[in-house]
Amino acid sequence: MAKVIVRGAIVNDDWAVIQFPVKDEPVRKQAGKAVIFRVTGESAANAEEIAALQIPAGKVIVPLSAWLARKDELAPRLAKGELGVWLDSFESPEALVESIDNLNRLALIAVNFPRFADGRGYSFAMLLRTRYGYTGELRAIGDVLHDQLFYMKRVGFDAYAVRADKNIEDALRGLNDFSEPYQSAVDVPMPLYRRRAR
């Protein structure tokens, strides 16, 4: 069974991340350079792929597009606390917020980091925690490495699915890479100069 870091501890992962089959897509170019990131608002999958997506029994984290298209089918699992939704970096957290009456009914929201260099997930976490008031488990998935964990914690992540080829014990130490942050963030709402006794 896979392991994840949840609230500072390594635990067995009892959630299955459901993904669409990987497609070979042509390399897109812009101004003569390869475009490696999808643009916000692009479609993750077409209607046939969404309808054909197999969702097994047990606790599952489904893609946002599958949740939006199959909400009625997934509603009983939501009520039982067995459903999470994951956002890709080119999707909108607002679409998730608008799709459900209370975001905190979701047991888990995951944000995918398709590449180490794609930082849009940090903004998503900050929005989900501050603007939308999500209090449940917020998990980072995808290309999640030791160097990112401290900063992910600062913006509101409390769970991390470290990349499979990396040592999870080493990654756990990444949560404590720095002893005292200067700036305010989700985890420490006041900057250092306001926390210091004068």
In order along its 198 residues, the chain shows pLDDT tens digits of 699 999 999 999 999 999 988 766 665 666 666 555 555 556 678 889 999 999 999 999 999 999 999 999 999 999 999 999 999 988 989 999 999 999 999 999 999 998 888 889 999 999 999 999 999 999 999 999 888 898 899 899 999 999 999 999 998 888 776 666 556 567 666 665 566 765
pLDDT at 121: 93
At 178 the pLDDT is: 64
Candidates 188, 123, 120, 113; CA nearest to 145 is 113
Q: Which of 186, 141, 197 is nearest to 164 (CA)?
A: 141
Check residue 165 and report its DSSP letter.
T
In the prediction, which pLDDT does 179 show? 63
Amino acid letter for position 116? F
Residue 138: closest CA among 108, 112, 115, 176: 108
Type of residue found at 68: L
- Please give the domain boundaries of the chain with CATH numbers for all domains: 3-19+39-195 (3.20.20)
Predicted confidence at residue 122, as pLDDT, reads 93
